[in-house]
């Protein structure tokens, strides 16, 4: 199976940039994933639990040669290796890797929902995704990433940062 998938990465604990870089590196070393595009990195306000630090977020596209569940397992394994601990939902984390899109598939299982169920509600996901795939049509929704971003009512700050 060769499918283009889109992932969202985020971090708001410790050296956030280091954790994002570790996530990208670990994904690139996984034999079933070939990263094709990386977005810029954005500093964003938290969602949910507001008494936590600002996030760094980014998106990437990759060609994957595995099933959606295998990709999910890979993402969770990388989060764990970097030191993510399960706390409260939408709480602070060293690294979060979400499957945003998996080809043209719409998936709804106990373990995985694709397109990501919060995708259309969050500019911290849509802005970096728009940078790398503005004309991509979101499966099951029928609109482009660019149009989804322009229609999003999320007013939280999303600011591109300069990385040396």
Is 96 considered catalytic here?
A: yes
Strand residue runs (E) in the chain: 3-11, 33-38, 42-44, 55-64, 96-102, 107-108, 113-114, 158-160
Range(s) of the domain holding residue 151: 3-160
Name the active-site residue from 16, 89, 98, 147: 98
Q: How far apart are CA 79 and CA 96, in angstroms?
A: 6
pLDDT in tens, 13-45: 999 999 999 999 999 999 999 999 999 999 998
From 96, 122, 147, 154, the catalytic residue = 96
Give helix 68-82 / helix 16-29 axis angle, nearest 10°. 140
Give yes or no: 89 in active site. Answer: no
71-96 tens-digit pLDDT:
999 999 999 988 756 665 556 779 99
Q: Tell me, what CATH number does 92's domain have?
A: 3.30.70.560
Q: What is the reported pLDDT for 93?
A: 79
Query: Where does the pLDDT of residue 46 fall: very low under 50, low under 70, confident under 90, or very high at 90 and above?
Result: confident
As for how many domains the chain has, the answer is 1
Active-site annotation holder among 84, 89, 147, 154: 84
CA of residue 110 relative to chain centroid, distance: 19
Radius of gyration of the chain (CA): 15
Q: Which of 16, 77, 89, 93 is catalytic?
A: 93
154 classed as catalytic: no
What pTM does this model have?
0.93
Model pLDDT, residue 137: 97
Active site residue 98: yes
């Amino acid at each position: 199976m060769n499918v283009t998938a889109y992932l969202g990465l985020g971090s708001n604990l410790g050296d956030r940039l280091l954790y994002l870089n570790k996530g990208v590196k670990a994904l690139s070393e996984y034999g079933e994933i070939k990263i094709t595009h990386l977005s810029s990195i954005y500093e964003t306000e938290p969602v949910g639990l507001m008494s936590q630090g600002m996030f760094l977020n980014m998106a990437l596209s990759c060609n994957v040669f595995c099933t959606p569940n295998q990709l999910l397992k890979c993402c969770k394994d990388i989060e764990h290796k970097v030191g993510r601990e399960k706390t409260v939902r939408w709480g602070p984390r060293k690294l979060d890797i979400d499957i945003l899109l998996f080809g043209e598939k719409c998936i709804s299982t106990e373990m995985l929902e694709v397109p990501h169920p919060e995708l259309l509600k969050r500019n911290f996901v849509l802005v970096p995704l728009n940078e790398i795939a503005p004309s991509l049509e979101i499966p099951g929704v029928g609109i482009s990433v660019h149009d989804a971003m322009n229609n999003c009512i999320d007013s939280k700050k999303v600011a591109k940062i300069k990385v040396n």
